[in-house]
């Protein structure tokens, strides 16, 4: 059998770092043995394996390809991989580290950062145990731990309840859940579902939302109508980032499980006082060029993030091509939209109109967001991720100075939101570099009722012309029949384009709305 049949190449060679992490966790959070079963602790450490593997695997795979006397290049054998990994464990890793000095330094950073987050998780799990028991029925010790991404861990007990831990503020998620509950109270026949959230300030817990295929027939139509309603609300809030990974399909119910970016400030020079809301396409729920597979509408086809390494434990181990998953998903997604484009667009528009009419009549309770801090996306996560991934390749790890080259672009590629404020752009660039050095996607935020940009506890400046709540309130004041019609057209056009332009115009009937329409929104 191969030495490391797991999900990280040559994981046995990384045991010194895993052992150091276990010792540090045991020393700083001795309650870990009380709140986590051995299996749950293994699950937590599997997340460390992934993080260590992200840094080490490119260099180890490069060394494996150049190993003398290597004979096999197939996933059907593991002889050479076994010999290579055994050599690493016996001291060969020191030779790799000698050629790549920064490798050990970055692995140590990964361990330190993981330990800090793991200790916080264990302490919070212990401290919040009464709340988790009373609110979700989760009892300690937890039997399963599954790290999803850096800030998200799924935990479950032996009786079945699963809860999602968020290592960040969940104030936006809590507020959006309150808004969805309010909207559901106005439209009982639609039965919108809000995720159950416990906000603990610097972290939070959510009820796990099951994710599966949307049933056919009336349930599928109901799913799309509800999606249209949530798209409408997100649009009026000025929100975005509602891609497939942030939407769950619970039967015929779409559920937003990450609402961090559902309010956004207005940057200087955009949308003056007389202007109105951007296109509904800005929400991320509808397909746009380059994001067809990741848009929220594709959530029913979303299968989770693929493992970054293929055929681990065999002689054919290699990185997974970034396009592999997208290439497999696109025909299924686009084919579904092509077959049902008329129905999809009509249902989305029906839901959009239903929510739009309710909001015109009752307004939106924006006060639920007053004490929240929406996340600000200065750049796409993909831009940061590509730079971080480049920085841990052997060529960039060859020296500290060379690794800095992977992040240098942030100084000259100024985010659009900061182009009118050079000092804030400079400070934001420094914050971006600092985060990426730690293998971390930078996270910026702004108070919902303020205009100041923050990175962690650091205040970077005042680059925005309107607070997120001011911007959304302006959108609400611009609502009208022409504005709604423009967004219906955007929905129809997005679905048509996703179906490869092979469809006739979708006939959507616009019901007459009340008088007092404002000028149409542009996009």
Q: What pLDDT digit, counting tens, does each position of 54-79 carry?
A: 999 999 999 999 888 788 889 899 99
Least confident residue range of 104-113, 274-283, 347-356: 274-283
Task: Look at residue 305 in the predicted model and tell me its pLDDT.
Answer: 65
Where is mean pLDDT largest: 204-208, 288-292, 322-326?
Answer: 204-208
Task: Look at residue 276 in the predicted model and tell me its pLDDT.
Answer: 56
pLDDT band of 411, cuts 50, 70, 90: confident
**Percent helix, percent strand, percent coil in the chain, to nearest 5:** 50, 10, 40
Same domain, residue pair 393 and 263: no
Rounded CA Rg of the chain = 25
Task: Look at residue 337 in the predicted model and tell me its pLDDT.
Answer: 80
Task: Look at residue 278 in the predicted model and tell me its pLDDT.
Answer: 76
DSSP strands (E only) in 167-308: 197-199, 204-207, 247-250, 253-256, 266-267
Same domain, residue pair 336 and 480: yes
In a domain, 395, yes or no: yes
pLDDT at 122 over 70: yes
Query: Residue 517 in contact with residue 483, Cβ under 8 Å?
Result: yes
454: number of Cβ within 10 Å:
18
d(CA 227, CA 491): 12
Same domain, residue pair 354 and 379: no
Domain range enclosing 489: 208-365+476-498
Task: Look at residue 269 in the predicted model and tell me its pLDDT.
Answer: 65
34 to each of 20, 25, 120, 122, 304, how far by Cα in Å? 20, 13, 15, 10, 31
Q: What is the average per-residue pLDDT within 183-198?
A: 88
pLDDT band of 178, cuts 50, 70, 90: very high
β partners of residue 304:
none
Q: Mean pLDDT in the chain? A: 87
Q: pLDDT higher for 109 or 515?
A: 109
d(CA 226, CA 443): 30
Q: pLDDT higher for 373 or 514?
A: 373
Q: What is the average per-residue pLDDT within 345-360?
A: 96
To the nearest 10°, report the CA torsion of 120, 125, 128, 134: 160
Same domain, residue pair 61 and 123: yes
Least confident residue range of 213-217, 247-251, 316-320, 437-441: 213-217
Q: pLDDT higher for 5 or 177?
A: 177
In a domain, 187, yes or no: no
Same domain, residue pair 66 and 22: yes
Pairing of strands 458-461, 253-256: unpaired
Same domain, residue pair 490 and 346: yes
* Sheet architecture: strand order including 375-376: 375-376, 444-445, 453-455, 458-461
Share of the chain above pLDDT 70, in %: 90
In a domain, 457, yes or no: no
Task: Look at residue 232 in the predicted model and tell me its pLDDT.
Answer: 97
In a domain, 277, yes or no: yes
Q: Give residue-wise pLDDT tens across range 228-242.
A: 999 999 999 999 999
In a domain, 2, yes or no: no
In a domain, 462, yes or no: no
DSSP strands (E only) in 348-401: 375-376
Q: What is the average per-residue pLDDT within 292-309?
A: 79
Task: Look at residue 128 in the predicted model and tell me its pLDDT.
Answer: 97
Same domain, residue pair 112 and 261: no
Query: Residue 397 in contact with residue 59, Cβ under 8 Å?
Result: yes
162: number of Cβ within 10 Å:
17
Q: What is the average per-residue pLDDT within 275-299?
A: 83
Q: What is the pTM of this model?
A: 0.89
pLDDT at 452 over 90: yes
Same domain, residue pair 284 and 348: yes
Helices (H), 71-151: 79-87, 93-99, 101-127, 129-136
Query: Residue 42 in contact with residue 118, Cβ under 8 Å?
Result: no
pLDDT band of 304, cuts 50, 70, 90: low
Task: Look at residue 290 in the predicted model and tell me its pLDDT.
Answer: 73
**The pair of three-digit structure tokens given for residue 352, joined into one six-digit string:** 């959009």
pLDDT band of 322, cuts 50, 70, 90: low
Residue 168: alpha-carbon gap to chain centroid: 13
Q: How many domains does the chain have?
A: 3
Same domain, residue pair 267 and 401: no
Same domain, residue pair 361 and 379: no
Same domain, residue pair 351 and 296: yes
Task: Look at residue 294 in the predicted model and tell me its pLDDT.
Answer: 83
In a domain, 469, yes or no: no
């Amino acid at each position: 059998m191969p030495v490391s049949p797991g999900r990280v190449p040559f994981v046995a060679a990384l045991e010194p770092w895993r052992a150091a992490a276990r010792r540090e966790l045991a020393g700083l959070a001795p309650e870990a043995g009380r709140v986590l079963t051995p299996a749950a602790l293994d699950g937590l450490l599997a997340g460390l394996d992934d993080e260590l593997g992200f840094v080490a695997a490119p260099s180890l795979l490069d060394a494996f390809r150049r190993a003398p006397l290597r004979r096999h290049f197939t996933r059907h054998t593991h002889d050479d991989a076994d010999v290579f990994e055994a050599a690493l464990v016996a001291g060969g890793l020191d030779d790799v580290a000698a050629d790549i000095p920064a490798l050990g330094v970055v692995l140590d950073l990964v361990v330190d950062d993981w330990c800090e987050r793991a200790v916080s998780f264990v302490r919070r799990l212990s401290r919040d145990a009464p709340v988790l028991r009373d609110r979700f029925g989760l009892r300690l010790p937890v039997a399963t731990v599954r790290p999803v991404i850096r800030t998200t861990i799924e935990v479950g007990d032996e009786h079945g309840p699963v809860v999602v831990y968020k290592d960040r503020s969940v104030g936006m998620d809590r507020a959006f859940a309150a808004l969805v509950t309010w909207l559901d109270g106005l439209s009982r026949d639609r039965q919108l579902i809000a995720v159950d959230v416990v906000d603990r300030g610097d972290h939070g817990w959510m009820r796990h939302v099951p994710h599966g295929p949307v049933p056919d027939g009336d349930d599928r139509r109901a799913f799309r109508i509800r999606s249209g309603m949530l798209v409408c609300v997100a649009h009026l809030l000025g929100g975005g980032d509602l891609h497939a990974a942030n939407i769950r399909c619970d039967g015929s119910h779409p559920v937003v499980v990450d609402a961090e970016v559902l309010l956004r400030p207005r940057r200087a020079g955009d949308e003056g006082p007389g202007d109105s809301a951007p296109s509904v396409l800005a929400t991320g729920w509808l397909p746009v060029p380059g994001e067809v597979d990741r848009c929220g509408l594709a959530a029913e086809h979303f299968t989770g993030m693929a493992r970054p390494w293929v055929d681990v434990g065999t002689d054919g181990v290699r990185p997974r091509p970034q396009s592999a998953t997208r290439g497999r998903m696109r025909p299924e997604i686009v084919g579904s939209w092509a077959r049902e484009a008329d129905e999809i667009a009509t249902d989305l528009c029906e839901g959009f109109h239903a929510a739009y009419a309710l909001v015109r009549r009752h307004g939106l309770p924006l006060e639920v967001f007053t004490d929240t801090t929406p996340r600000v996306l200065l750049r796409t996560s993909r831009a940061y991720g590509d730079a971080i991934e480049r920085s841990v390749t052997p060529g960039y790890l060859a020296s500290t100075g060379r690794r800095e080259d992977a992040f240098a672009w942030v100084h000259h590629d100024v985010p659009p939101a900061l182009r009118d404020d050079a000092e804030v752009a400079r400070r934001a660039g420094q914050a971006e570099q600092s985060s990426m050095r730690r293998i971390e996607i930078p996270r910026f935020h702004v108070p919902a009722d303020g205009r100041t940009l923050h990175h962690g506890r650091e205040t970077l400046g005042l680059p925005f012309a309107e607070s997120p709540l001011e911007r959304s309130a302006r959108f609400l004041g611009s609502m009208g029949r022409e504005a709604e019609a423009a967004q219906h057209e955007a929905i129809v056009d997005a679905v048509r384009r996703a179906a490869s332009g092979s469809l006739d115009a979708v006939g959507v009937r616009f019901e007459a709305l009340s008088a007092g329409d404002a000028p149409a929104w542009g996009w």
